[in-house]
Amino acid sequence: MLKKAVLIGCSVLAVACGSDDGVNLSGSGGAGAAGGYGGVAGVAGTGAAAGAAGQAGGGSGGSGNAAGSSGAAGTGGAGGTAGAGSSLIVTEMMVNPKNVTDDLGEYVELYNTTDAAIDLSGYELYDGFNNTHVISKSVIVPAKGYALLARNGDPKQNGGLFPDYVYDNFFLSNTKDAVKLKDKSGKVVASVEYTGSAPWPTSDGAALELSDLSKDPADPASWTLAKNRYGTGDLGTPGGPNGYGPTPYTLDAADLGWQDPSLGASLFFSYFDQPEKVILQALGKAQTSVHIAMFNLRESSIINALGQLVKKGVDVQVLLDQKQMDQVYNQPKVQELIAAGITPKGVSNTSATDATMHDKFTVIDGKRVLTGSMNYSSNALNLSDEELLLIDNASVASLFEAEFAELSAGTTNAATAATSAPVQVLFGNEDKLYDVVAGELAQAKTSAYVAMFSMNTKKIIDELIAAKSRGVHVVVLLDKVQADAESADEALDQAGIPVLRFENDRGSAQNLGLTELHNKLCVIDGKKVLMGSYNWTNLASFYNDENMLVLTSERLATQANREIAQMINDYMPAFTPQSVGFAAGKRTVKFSLRGLSVDASTELYLVGDSDAMGSDNYALALPLTAGAGNTWSTSVDLPAGATLGYHVFARSTLGHNYPEPIAADTFTVPYASTAAVVDHAFGKSLKE
C-alpha cells in the first residue's frame, strides 16, 4: 500500500515500500521515486522504517533520506527528475533545424533559477540513447540567467548561434529523446523527455520553448513552438527569454514611407514593383476629390475603386483623350466608367492630325499627385516598363489642378508658373519641354542615363552627343519596336553612345506588340530625375498635351538608376557593366533609415543576402549608427547590378535580446557610379 506526504508549494511526493502498521513503515530498501517536477522525493532504505511523518528530499532532486516518527532513517534513495523548482531547468531545445544541416543547428538552453551563478564545469550532459558529454571548461550560468549549449560554434554553419559552450557526442533525435544534466556528484539537476509527435508541439525549424518558467517541463502542454526568427531564418530565442517581449520601438505613423521625405515623394516601377497596389491604396484614402487626366484608362480595378469613391460622395472627374475614347476596343471601358457613376470627358487636341491629350496624372484631395509614364491599363501596370511618381505636395498638386481645369475647359494652355528645384512642374506644349530637357542635359557633368519609349527630337539628341563629347557617360535604353521605325536615334550610335534597344515580349502571345519599354525617364549626375508622360519626340514636343517633372533628389535618382539596372539585367542576363562604359566592381550604397523611436539600450541592425550584409544571417548583421532626428544609417559596398533582399531588425539589450524584425525589402544596386542612397522609412507605408 502507498502512503503519501504532500508538501504544499513544492508538489513533492515521498514514497516508501513495505507493510503498514498504521504508524510505521518497514521496508527493504526501496528505490527513490520522483515525486514531482519541483524536486525528488527521498525514500527510506533498509533498516527501520520511514514513518508517516517522513520528509521529502531537496528541491534539486537527489538523495534526501526519509526519517520516520520512530525508528532510524535508512540510506538515501536515488535522485529522480528535476524540474522548475530546480536550480537549473531546460527552457529551450532546437531539435530539428530547417535552414542548416540538422545536427549543426541543434542547441539546448538552460536557465538558472537561483540568485547565485552556477558553473557547469564537470557537469555531464546526456540524452535518451546514453550519449554523454562532460562539460570540460568553466561555463557560468548567471543568476536568473541563461546558458546556451550547442553542437556547433560557428554562426555561419549553425544558423546564427553564439553558444556559451560547444558539446560533442550528444544529439537530439527528431522522434523521441531526452535532455538531461547531472552535476559533479551525479545528481540529475535538469531533465526533460520529449517525443516528435502529439501531444508535443512539432515543426521543422522551430525550437521547443518552455512557455513559462513555473510550468512542469515534463508536461508537453508546458511547451510551445518558437515564433521569433534568429540567424538564418529558423525560429527560436537562443540564450534569451522565451516568447515575445515588449516591442522595443515605436513607429512614426505620420511617415508614409516616402523614398525622399524632403519631397514627400516615391518612385515605383512596372513591372518590378507593384504600382497598381500603390494607385489603389492612394485612391482608397481619397476624402474629397479625385481628378484624373489620362491618355487611356482600361484597368477595371481602378474603375471599381473610383466607383466606390463616388458612392462615398467624393468628387471624381476623369478626362480622357477623345481619340482613345472613340476606339472600338475602348468603348466597353467607357461604359464601365459610366456604370460606376463616372461620365468621362473627352479632350480633343486638334493642333495636329496625330496630336493627343497624352497626359498621365491623378490629383487626390488637392494635395497628392500620381504621375508618370503609365496609363491605367493592365499591361502598363503589370508588364510594360513604366515609372510612377507619388508626391504629397499641395503646391505641386495646385499646378496639376490648374492644368486639369484648362484641359477640361478646352482653353488655350497658359505657360506654367515658374517653379524651381527640388520640384519643377512643366506641361507641354506650352512650357517647351524639349528646351527644358536640352538645358538640363547641357549642364550634365558626369552622367546621363536615359530610358525612353520613343526619341526623335534633334535638339535633345544633339545635347546627348555634346554631353558625350565633353566626357559625360551617356547610356540610352530604347524600345526596339519604336527605334526600328525611326532613324534619328542612329546619330547616337554614330557618336559612340551605347544605345540598348530592347523589345518587351512579356506576357502571352496576345500581348505581343502591346507591352513596351514605355519609360520616359532620364537621370542626370545621380542627382536629377526627369520623368512624366513626355516622349522625346517632335509630336510630343510641339503638339501633344504632356506633363513632366524635374526632380532634384539623390534618393529618387537612386531609385531611377535602380530601374535602369533592373531593365538591363532583365533584357540582358549576361550583361557586363564595362560593355557600355560602366565601371566594374562594387558600388557604395548608403542605407538611411528613419521613422521610429527606440527604447533605451535598443540597437538596430541591417542584414541581407550578400556577404557584405551578413549573408542573411541575423547573427552577422551590420549595426546601424544613430543620427539626428530618429535616423540610422550604414554604408555597404555591394556588387553593381545585384538584386538583394534586406531586413532591418531591432534588438534590446534589456531582457529582450533576440531580434525583432521591423522591415524587409529588395534593392537592385545601380550600375551608375554616382552615390546611391536608399532611404527606408519604418512608418505606416502607403503600400501597407
Same structural domain, 45 and 117: no
Phi/psi of residue 25, each to 5°? -110, 125
Asked if residue 549 lies in contact with residue 389, where contact means CB atoms within 8 angstroms, the answer is yes
| Residue stretches of the chain with pLDDT short of 50 | 1-84, 684-688
The domain tally of the chain equals 4
Residue 348 C-alpha cell reads as: 480633343
Domain final residue, candidates 48, 80, 112: 80
Q: What is the CATH number of the domain that holds 596?
A: 2.60.40.10
Beta bridge partners of 371: 361, 389
Same structural domain, 527 and 599: no
- Residue 412 CB-density burial (10 A; 0-12 exposed, 13-18 middle, 19+ buried): exposed
- Whether residue 300 is contained in a domain is answered as yes
Same structural domain, 430 and 284: yes
For the chain, how many residues are written?
Answer: 688
Q: Cα(294)–Cα(376) distance, rounded to whole angstroms?
A: 8
Residue 631 C-alpha cell reads as: 535616423
Predicted local confidence at residue 112, as pLDDT: 96
- Whether residue 435 is contained in a domain is answered as yes
Q: Cα(377)–Cα(301) distance, rounded to whole angstroms?
A: 10
- Whether residue 601 is contained in a domain is answered as yes
Q: What is the CATH number of the domain that holds 426?
A: 3.30.870.10
Amino acid at 360: K
Domain final residue, candidates 31, 48, 80: 80
Residue 307 C-alpha cell reads as: 466607383
Pure H helices in 456-547: 458-469, 480-484, 490-494, 538-542
- Whether residue 238 is contained in a domain is answered as no
- Whether residue 688 is contained in a domain is answered as no
Nearest Cα to Cα of residue 369 among 287, 274, 306, 282: 282
Same structural domain, 469 and 498: yes
Same structural domain, 61 and 105: no
Helix%, strand%, coil% for the chain, nearest 5: 20, 35, 50
The DSSP annotation for 397-440 comes to HHHHHHHHHHHHHTPPPPPPPP--TTEEEEEETTT-HHHHHHHH
Query: Within its chain, how far is the Cα of 326 from the centroid?
Result: 45
Beta bridge partners of 119: 140
Predicted local confidence at residue 417, as pLDDT: 80
- Whether residue 234 is contained in a domain is answered as no
- Which residue carries 533582399 as its cell? 645
Domain final residue, candidates 225, 250, 284: 225
Pure H helices in 7-166: none
Q: What distances in angstroms separate CA 19 from CA 13, 26, 48, 78, 374, one per listed residue?
A: 18, 6, 12, 21, 93
Per-residue model confidence as pLDDT tens digits over 416-469:
887 888 999 999 999 999 999 999 999 999 999 999 999 999 999 999 999 999
Same structural domain, 35 and 132: no
Beta bridge partners of 14: 5
Classify the C-alpha dihedral 36-37-38-39 as positive or negative.
Answer: positive
Asked if residue 362 lies in contact with residue 290, where contact means CB atoms within 8 angstroms, the answer is yes
Asked if residue 446 lies in contact with residue 473, where contact means CB atoms within 8 angstroms, the answer is yes
Same structural domain, 167 and 291: no
Same structural domain, 284 and 432: yes
- Whether residue 686 is contained in a domain is answered as no
Residue burial 78-96, b: 16+ Cβ < 10 Å; e: rest: bbbbbbbbbbbbbbbbbbb
Same structural domain, 423 and 494: yes
Same structural domain, 428 and 450: yes
Phi/psi of residue 540, each to 5°? -70, -35
Nearest Cα to Cα of residue 275 among 358, 366, 373: 373
588 is in which domain, residue-wise? 583-681
Q: Cα(499)–Cα(530) distance, rounded to whole angstroms?
A: 19
- Whether residue 499 is contained in a domain is answered as yes
Taking residue 539's Cβ as centre, other Cβ atoms within 10 Å add up to 20
Same structural domain, 68 and 136: no
Per-residue model confidence as pLDDT tens digits over 196-220:
999 999 999 999 999 999 999 999 9
Task: Find the distance separating the first CA and the last CA of the chain, reported in whole Å.
Answer: 67
Same structural domain, 345 and 415: yes
